Structure 1
Amino acid sequence: MARASDEDEKRADAFFHALADSTRRDILRRVLAGEHSVSALARNYDMSFAAVQKHVAVLERAGLVSKRRSGRESLATGEVEALRSVAPMLSELEAVWRGRIGRLDDLLVESATAPDVAGPTTEKE
């Protein structure tokens, strides 16, 4: 398997860091469904407007959200392509995981069918 470039690794780090927080995952779900103002998003959470702005900024740095101004409002939109860009890496990790599971299955079959090297044991009375 080819190793990801440093740029791809940095993008993945930012992506997974952004998704490590449940509030950010919820914000992302909302903005993937449609554009929302940051102030409208903030009304959904028991935290300050500034805290929600920081969460949106983390998502934006990861490329998962884009923002635009409309008058005094800052509008956030989810970036579906950013999610798709990580799919090849996730597939690679899944292949490694499935390979390990396959090897474990092989070892279990081998141990179940291997002759007993120690031979039968008998108990002395």
Structure 2
Amino acid sequence: MSREAHSIQLEKLELRISRFLRSGVYFAGLFLFVGWFWMWLGSEDIFAHLSDYHPQSFFEMIQWALIMNDRGILMTLAGLVILVCLPVIRVFLTGILFVKQKEYSLAFMAFGVFLTLIVSFFLGIEL
């Protein structure tokens, strides 16, 4: 493959990555908006539960929302999970892009950052 064709292929890959991230942000925003709107429709005072702080793990919050059938909270949490996962996916896709460019040292660093992010997420989760 010629150098110019390879460059065009890499530009197309970068464009697909940026489109994927942009649509991910829109998708997460849609989930957040629908979740907040659903919470607003289902409650007379949506800020009442915010008057006192009660620490709760992420999984407890999901279990409580499933038991109470609170779709607004579930939609909002789904939007937040999507929004948090987008930068992690970006680091992974950047590593793939570096491999395609044959920049193996940069790819190694990108995958190292990706692995560090994944490990930090699992270390930060309270079960």
Q: Which structure is higher in RCO with an 8 Å CA cutoff and minimum separation 6? A: 2
Specify if TM > 0.5.
no
Q: Of Structure 1 and Structure 2, which has the larger fraction of its residues in helix?
A: 2
- Which structure's CA Rg is the greater one? 1
TM-score by length of 2: 0.27
